[in-house]
Amino acid sequence: MTEVTLVQAVNRALRTAMSADPEVLLLGEDIGVNGGVFRATEGLLKDFGADRVIDTPLSETGIVGAAVGMALYGLKPVAEIQFLDFIYPGFDQIVSELAKFRYRSGGQYPCHVVIRSPYGGGIKGGLYHSQSTEAYFAHTAGLKVVVPSTPADAYGLLLSSIFDPDPVIFLEPKRIYRTVTGEVPEGDQRVPIGRARTVREGTDVSVFAYGAMIPPATEACQAAEADGVSAELIDLRTLVPLDAGAVLASVEKTGRAVIVHEAARFCGYGAEIAAILAEKAFFSLKAPIHRVTGFDTPFPYALENLYLPNAARIRQAIVDTVRAG
């Protein structure tokens, strides 16, 4: 075990996968010689060669389309989209092609591609280097959506994603690429897709969050102790498939729910969690469900700290929810 940052864990997982399987290859913009704009692929070109670490022309639809073709042939491509905000030229390839190949071919053409992309705000990235649009992908049948929040999960979940038989959108919380550190194992040690992680246990309220929202949510849960509230924090880790069992079990215990994400509120991923709780855990609820989210605006540059949920807002929501009933 070694202590690394989240982005270093991504790099290590790629290295482990490429060492284990000679048909894992990477493609994307600036990922080879430059090692990726966030250095996630640093050193991989030197060790695995230009055939497996492919600097592509600047075209997201070309990157995803080529990755789809590689996967149809049987390779295991891992495509990097430099920022999630730039994925839309490749969106047609993702939602119309990648997500549907297995289904539309009656299982004849599985299409296993991992698309890694840094997402989220808090890096002074403005409108187009900050968005958190996981709901588009979660809404599309046929895609798995994974969002780690720790180095260990980034490592283990990326390995699971690369060796999963289905397409995976792997969203990396770039705000905490270098601010969280932790131990990661050596070798092919995977974290299963589809299981939430209990960050801390509590009895009064369940807080559901993922990605870069885990650090402020953790801080908020700790701070709420001073308000006499025992908050349980669940890191969803994979949005699709959702670990609905863990969500329901927690709320059946605490009777209250706060959902946190930095994406816009309207039709955000939290709406699905709230709906599931309303449908399946209604009689366990003691108080209205509370969402702490970004705003229904484009992502603002100067006001990003106002836009993004922080520990204070989350703490207030926790306290309000507990006091509501």
Partner 1 sequence: MSAGFAPLPLPYTAPELERRLGADWSGLLWTAYRWMRTARSLDERMVGLQRQGRVGFYGPATGQEAVSIAAGLAVRENDWVFPGLREQLVALVRGHPLGTYLHHLFADSLDPASGRQMPCHPTAREVRYVSMSSCVGTQVSQAVGCAYGFRFRSDDAVSLAFFGDGATSVSDFHAGMNFAGVFHLPVVFCCTNNQWAISLPVEQQSRVAELAEKAAAYGMPGRRVDGSDFIETYLQLSDALETARQGRGPTLLEFVVYRMSPHSTSDDPSRYQPADWRERSAQHDPVGRMERLLGALGLLSQDLVREMDRQIDATLRDAIAAAERTAPPGPETLERDVFAPAVSAPSAEG
Q: Is residue 261 flagged as an active site residue? A: no
Contact between 265 and 295 under an 8 Å Cβ cutoff? The reply is yes
Measured from the CB atom, the residue of 104 and 323 that comes closer to partner 1 is 104
146 contributes a contact to partner 1 by CB under 8 A: no
CA angle centred on 115, ends 109 and 120, rounded to 5°: 150
Measured from the CB atom, the residue of 102 and 315 that comes closer to partner 1 is 102
Span interacting with partner 1, options 6-14, 238-246, 292-300, 312-320, rule CB under 8 A: 238-246
Cα→Cα distances 271→3, 84, 98, 299, Å: 36, 21, 25, 19
Judged by CB under 8 A, the residue of 276, 284, 295, 301 near partner 1 is: 276
Span interacting with partner 1, options 108-116, 125-133, 154-162, 257-265, rule CB under 8 A: 108-116
Contact between 134 and 239 under an 8 Å Cβ cutoff? The reply is yes
Q: Which two tokens stand for residue 254?
A: 């605490």
Beta bridge partners, 259, equal 208, 291
267 contributes a contact to partner 1 by CB under 8 A: no
Q: Which two tokens stand for residue 295?
A: 């705003």
Biggest CA–CA distance in the chain, Å, is 60
- Rounded-to-integer distance, Cα 48 and Cα 15, Å: 9
For 175, residues 6+ apart whose C-beta sits below 8 A from its C-beta are 120, 121, 122, 123, 212
- Rounded-to-integer distance, Cα 99 and Cα 137, Å: 9
101 contributes a contact to partner 1 by CB under 8 A: yes
Measured from the CB atom, the residue of 109 and 301 that comes closer to partner 1 is 109
Binding-residue total with partner 1 (CB under 8 A): 53
Residue 103 CB, nearest approach to partner 1 (Å)? 5
Judged by CB under 8 A, the residue of 2, 19, 34, 105 near partner 1 is: 105
Judged by CB under 8 A, the residue of 15, 39, 42, 62 near partner 1 is: 62
Q: Which DSSP helix (H) or strand (E) runs through 46?
A: helix 44-48
Site string for partner 1, 150-189 (x = CB under 8 A): ---------------xx-----------------------
Which residues are annotated as catalytic?
A: 129
What residues make contact with partner 1 under the rule CB under 8 A? 23, 25, 51, 54, 56-57, 59, 61-62, 64-75, 77, 89, 92-93, 96-97, 100-110, 141-142, 144, 165-166, 194-195, 241-245, 276, 279-280
